[in-house]
Chain A
Amino acid sequence: MSSEIKHHLEILELRPGATYPQINQAYHRLKNIYSTESSILSPLTKEFSKKKSNDILRRIEKAHKFLTSHIESVKTNGENHEEPPTDTDPEKSPQKILPFSGRNLRKIRTALGISLSDVSLETKIRIELLKDIENDHYDALPDEIYLRAHIRYLAKILGLNPHKAAEDYLQLFRMHKEAAGEKR
């Protein structure tokens, strides 16, 4: 069983102990690489038949399906496998922390071991702004339309559902704005 998990993780280019979001992220990344005809890989792909690329894609799909179903089964049965494929305990896993307030987003980020500067580099959002988002400093945040884009970016990096994260966060944001308006 454990060797099978290792084999599938290798296909997704992950190390043992990869988390659920990491598996998802790797799957989407690889699928994107091998389903689109990337020009950098054209010297390789033109020499191999279409069958080979399809074969690679099928293996990626299979690995993803296997690993996600394995995690689901661990979650529902609550049983302890001899070697669980993920480091994070299902209780802590990002899917359980709802709604996506700034504080929870920070929790997820720290659980994944991603630093703010990495997020900032990837999303090109200023670190100060990211800090404000995570600390729920609603007054310091930009307008809704910009904020939505920022949250979506942030959620994407953390392997969350961008739509859900943005909706949750904006709901909290609006509630705060309304309360602030009433006070005045």
Chain B
Amino acid sequence: MFIKSDAGFKAPLITTIDLACSLNYDYFVRFNRISSAERRFKRFEPRKKTMIEGHLPEKKNSPIIWTIGGGKGGSGKTFVCSAFATLLARLDYTVILIDLDIGAPNLHNFLGIQDPKKSLTLFFERKKELEELPMPTVVPNLRFIAGDIHSLSTEGTRLYHRRKLYNHIPRLKSDYILIDIGAGSDTHVLDTFLLADKKIAVINPETISMENFYQFIKNALFRKLTLAFRPYGSRDLIDQVWKFREHYKLKNIWDLMNWLKINFPFSQSIIESEIASFRIDFLLNQIRTRQDIELGHIIKSAFIKFLDLDVRYAGHIEYKTEVANSIARGYPFMVHYANSPSAQEIETCLYNLIREKEAL
């Protein structure tokens, strides 16, 4: 189930990236005045080569955008996002990590940055361009744009701000852009989620998380359909039909889609193409038992059987105290615990996502 390490018995080779990482880290430690006791607690860990190295995709001119969401708060979205970004950067891709958790940004803590000087607030206030915002981190190839930590009211992020942001994000120069979106499923969150080339959801093996995930998917699909109908001049069609759902005897979004297909034949092709392009990869975080791993397969099966959606199970990450420890201390996990079991599970998930595969 894990990717087997090729260099399992040899001493890990230190690559140039690792070396640069380590030097950068020393500088970072001095700069941020981390105490010597803490420095001794954990040093930079060189990464062992694994199977993933042989299967990396080629770099493209335009950035590949991944968004990580999932509905429920505290499911580990931010952690997974930071871990993927660090890992991709250590695999020699340039990565920009954006914290778009409007209202509750905290991604900088996961990268060991205590007080970011630049943030999205400056972009929203038109003081800086988006290209000027990425700041360096411990990992050489990884740059980071902090969330709106400097704003005192989230009212400040209005619709035109967001539109501008969505236009500017694909113009950033990088191989990968990873976006951490917040919990919940308001329009802002959904629009950001739908922006991506790859939409990733992080869920926990609990009924509550599943409830939120289902709600999130329904809302995202509804939003996608609403946006798709706009160019056809039927902007409010879906909203209006759903508003009078009791009258039309519609129970859920699937009834709604069927109703639209029957009554407005032009909508059939739109709905079908939207459903076909709606693909979600999910991973299970904080699993505690072996039965929990199986839940991933059950969830996937149910989404396909009940809803006919393309949902894929990328893998699982076990609940480990070292993860909680590293978060509490503000250390970047994939730098300090690069070869731990959890890191390997994260690598497996990333491998599946890159290679468009699924968990076994």
Q: Does B127 interact with chain A (Cβ within 8 Å)?
A: no
Q: Does B133 interact with chain A (Cβ within 8 Å)?
A: no
Q: Are A43 and B207 in contact (CB under 8 A)?
A: yes
Shortest distance between the CB of B345 and any CB in chain A (Å): 15
Contact with B along A3-36 (1 / 0, CB 8 A): 0000000000100000000000000001001100
Interface of B is mostly: helix
Set of chain A residues within 8 Å of B135, measured between Cβ atoms: none
Shortest distance between the CB of A52 and any CB in chain B (Å): 7
Please judge, given known A-B contacts A56-B305, A56-B306, whether A41 and B252 are in contact too, CB under 8 Å: no
Q: Are B301 and A40 in contact (CB under 8 A)?
A: no
Set of chain B residues within 8 Å of A42, measured between Cβ atoms: 207
Q: Which residue in chain A gives the minimum CB-CB distance to B254?
A: A48
Q: Does B299 interact with chain A (Cβ within 8 Å)?
A: yes
Interface of A is mostly: helix
Q: Does A145 interact with chain B (Cβ within 8 Å)?
A: no
Q: Are A13 and B214 in contact (CB under 8 A)?
A: no
Set of chain A residues within 8 Å of B303, measured between Cβ atoms: 44
Shortest distance between the CB of B202 and any CB in chain A (Å): 16
Set of chain A residues within 8 Å of B215, measured between Cβ atoms: 43
* Alpha-carbon distance A121/B289, docked complex (angstroms): 12
Contact with A along B286-304 (1 / 0, CB 8 A): 0000100001001101111
Residue of A38, A48, A121 near B252 (CB, 8 A) is A48
Set of chain B residues within 8 Å of A13, measured between Cβ atoms: 301, 304
Set of chain B residues within 8 Å of A52, measured between Cβ atoms: 306
Q: Are A44 and B214 in contact (CB under 8 A)?
A: yes
Of the four ranges (under 10, 10 to 19, 20 to 34, 35 or more), the interface on chain A belongs to: 10 to 19
Q: Are A44 and B207 in contact (CB under 8 A)?
A: no
Q: Are A44 and B302 in contact (CB under 8 A)?
A: yes
Residue of A30, A47, A49 near B301 (CB, 8 A) is A30
Q: Are A40 and B306 in contact (CB under 8 A)?
A: no
Shortest distance between the CB of B221 and any CB in chain A (Å): 13
Of A40, A45, A49, the most chain B CB neighbours within 10 A belong to: A40
Q: Are A40 and B251 in contact (CB under 8 A)?
A: no
Residue of B210, B290, B304, B305 near A40 (CB, 8 A) is B210
Shortest distance between the CB of B216 and any CB in chain A (Å): 11
Of the four ranges (under 10, 10 to 19, 20 to 34, 35 or more), the interface on chain B belongs to: 20 to 34
Tell me the B193-218 residues at the A interface (CB within 8 Å): 205-207, 210-211, 214-215
Q: Does A39 interact with chain B (Cβ within 8 Å)?
A: yes
Please judge, given known A-B contacts A13-B301, A33-B298, whether A41 and B251 are in contact too, CB under 8 Å: no
* Alpha-carbon distance A45/B307, docked complex (angstroms): 11
Shortest distance between the CB of B270 and any CB in chain A (Å): 23
Please judge, given known A-B contacts A13-B301, A47-B251, whether A39 and B306 are in contact too, CB under 8 Å: no
Residue of A39, A41, A49 near B302 (CB, 8 A) is A41
Q: Which residue in chain A gives the minimum CB-CB distance to B211?
A: A43
Of A30, A38, A47, the most chain B CB neighbours within 10 A belong to: A47
Set of chain A residues within 8 Å of B305, measured between Cβ atoms: 34, 56
Tell me the B209-243 residues at the A interface (CB within 8 Å): 210-211, 214-215
* Alpha-carbon distance A48/B258, docked complex (angstroms): 14
Contact with B along A80-121 (1 / 0, CB 8 A): 000000000000000000000000000000000000000001
A-B contact pairs, 28 of them (CB 8 A): A30-B301, A33-B301, A33-B302, A34-B305, A38-B298, A40-B206, A40-B207, A40-B210, A40-B295, A40-B299, A41-B210, A41-B299, A41-B302, A42-B207, A43-B210, A43-B211, A43-B214, A43-B215, A44-B210, A44-B214, A44-B302, A44-B303, A44-B306, A44-B307, A47-B252, A48-B306, A49-B251, A56-B306
For the complex with contacts A39-B207, A43-B211, A121-B290, 18 further pairs of A-B residues with Cβ separation under 8 Å are A13-B301, A33-B298, A33-B301, A34-B305, A38-B298, A40-B205, A40-B298, A41-B298, A42-B207, A43-B210, A43-B215, A44-B302, A44-B307, A45-B306, A48-B252, A49-B251, A52-B306, A56-B306
